[in-house]
Amino acid sequence: MFSMKKTYFIASLLMFFTGCAVGPKYVRPTTQIPAAYKESKDWKKAQPQDEIIRGEWWKIFNDPRLDALEEQVNISNQNIVAAQAQYAQAYALVQAAKSAIFPILTTTGSYTRSHGGSSGNNGSSGSNGGSSSSSHYAVSNNLLSADVTWEVDLWGKIRQTITSYKAQAQASSADLENAKLSAQAQLAQDYFQLCSLDAQKKLLDDTIIIYQKFLDLTKNQYASGVVSESAVIQAKTQLEATQAQEIDIGVQRSQMEHAIALLIGKPASDFSIPSLSLPSRVPDVPTGLPSEILERRPDIAAAERTVASANALIGVAEAAYYPTLTLSASGSYGSSDLSRIFSSPNPLWSVGPALAETIFDAGLRQAQTSQAKAVYDQDVASYRQTVLTAFQQVEDNLAALRILEQEEQVQDAAVKDAQKALELEINQYKAGTVSALDVITIQATALTNEKTDVTLLGERFNVCVLLIQYLGGGWTTSQE
């Protein structure tokens, strides 16, 4: 039987040895990081970095209506609510894993009452018959016991498990931020698409007014015998076709409006947005350095934390090769009188260690360790692929912004030339030197160029939002 002093000594010694832990030390996997983005090779890093986007990245567009919608996304989007619940689950698992560090104390109280009997002397006395006697008794028993069990973390199995769960919780936190960023970016894209559709509708409305005037002019010329009836029909056809285009915009606008309602967690039937105007200038997006993307993109952070979790699980698997040591102690008091249970003589107690080691498992531990290492290798590959994809996405959208800006400059010139050609053509038509068909052809060309110009501007806003999303928005790993 161990004395209490010996037990304390052993416990202190074991606490010292619990500093040992098996398994590989975690180091973030290396990735190939370019020195600068190819598409922003002339960009120079500002000192200090006052222009780097922080927090509410959508405010770079300076649109109060967009700001209000983005705030509703953070509160009411159900995908974000689900991601928050997933993070809460991951955090609870960390707390559950930490409990294994401490001893487990259980107590049991019981009360029993038993009934028994004993027979007395049985005999007979002559012819007068016999006599018998018996006695019956009831016994009460009160028992209070306590047990303490503690698995000593000699090889770091418990600590590595906690490390793994912590990394998973951090990955879940990054997943939550990624869900927020995705929803915010999708809302901004839908919003600017809605602005673009409203701009196209305004263009078509203005064009319909012009086409109506041209139809009236053609009717007057037909009444004067200057043009044939076919010219009137052609002008009317062009007007009706443009009216149909204007009506068709309503279908796309309704769908965008419903998509925004879904993102902010509202029924589509109860949500509407008044007509919007498309801003004329796309803001400049500060890109920073490629290395910063590792700190700013939540999906990369989540992938890296998944690698850290897998690395810790290798240590958990390797700890199974070593013996487990469990310290246990128990004590109990019993008495027939509940009021005297703690003062009853001869309390029962026991204390001692138990050492367990698996001798043969038919390769189970080796297979589990190999599996843990394979999961780690898979997660490392996924992390590196996520980083490479991030660089691709940033370069794609930097290139798109540059090319679309050049295209829009050329398209602006095309719009101006088409408007000038149309003005000249209408003057010649009034003078009777060109036909109505010539005017209608030039009008169609002018409208196509103007629609393309509006579409290009909307696409530039869309790419701008995507670039901000792929740069990580305003989030950093310090918030994880």
- Grade residue 42 by pLDDT with cuts at 50, 70 and 90: low
Q: Are 80 and 105 in contact (CB under 8 A)?
A: no
Residue 173 tokens read as: 């936190």
**Residue 182 carries which DSSP code?**
H
Q: What is the pLDDT of residue 113?
A: 74
Q: Are 284 and 405 in contact (CB under 8 A)?
A: no
**Where on the phi/psi map is residue 132: left (φ > 0), alpha (ψ -120 to 50), or beta?**
beta
Q: For residue 198, which of 271, 249, 140, 258 has the smallest C-alpha distance?
A: 249
Q: For residue 149, which of 350, 399, 371 has the smallest C-alpha distance?
A: 350
Q: What is the CB-side half-sphere exposure of residue 296 using CA atoms within 13 A?
A: 24
93-118, pLDDT tens digit by residue?
888 888 888 888 888 877 777 776 55
> Cis peptide leading into 48, omega within 30 of 0?
yes
How deeply is 293 buried, as exposed, middle or buried, from its count of CB atoms within 10 A (0-12, 13-18, 19+)?
A: buried
The C-alpha atoms of residue 57 and residue 263 are separated, in whole angstroms, by 17
Q: Give me the domains of the chain, ranges plus CATH numbers.
A: 31-100+163-319+373-479 (1.20.1600.10)
180-214, pLDDT tens digit by residue?
999 999 999 999 999 999 999 999 999 999 999 99
Q: What is the pLDDT of residue 358?
A: 81
User: Does pLDDT of 145 surpass 90?
Assistant: no
Higher pLDDT, 360 or 244: 244
Residue 187 tokens read as: 């809302």
Rounded to 5°, the CA angle 223-224-225 comes to 90
State the average pLDDT over residues 431-442: 90
Q: What is the pLDDT of residue 395?
A: 94
Q: Are 300 and 383 in contact (CB under 8 A)?
A: yes
User: Does pLDDT of 366 surpass 80?
Assistant: yes
Q: What is the pLDDT of residue 212?
A: 96
State the average pLDDT over residues 319-324: 85
The C-alpha atoms of residue 392 and residue 229 are separated, in whole angstroms, by 58
Q: What is the pLDDT of residue 342?
A: 57
Q: Are 350 and 330 in contact (CB under 8 A)?
A: yes
State the average pLDDT over residues 345-360: 75
Q: What is the pLDDT of residue 50?
A: 46
User: Does pLDDT of 451 surpass 90?
Assistant: yes
Residue 287 tokens read as: 């890109």
Averaged confidence pLDDT in the chain: 85
237-263, pLDDT tens digit by residue?
999 999 999 999 999 999 999 999 999
User: Does pLDDT of 442 surpass 70?
Assistant: yes
**Which range has the worst mean pLDDT, 44-53, 239-248, 249-258, 319-328?**
44-53
Residue type, 349: W
User: Does pLDDT of 462 surpass 50?
Assistant: yes
Q: Which residues contact 435 (CB under 8 A, 6 or more apart)?
A: 227, 231, 429
The C-alpha atoms of residue 460 and residue 402 are separated, in whole angstroms, by 9
Residue 463 tokens read as: 């790419």
Q: Could you tell me the CA-to-CA distances from 445 to 224, 263, 422 in Å, in that order?
A: 28, 38, 9
The C-alpha atoms of residue 185 and residue 183 are separated, in whole angstroms, by 5
User: Does pLDDT of 323 surpass 90?
Assistant: no
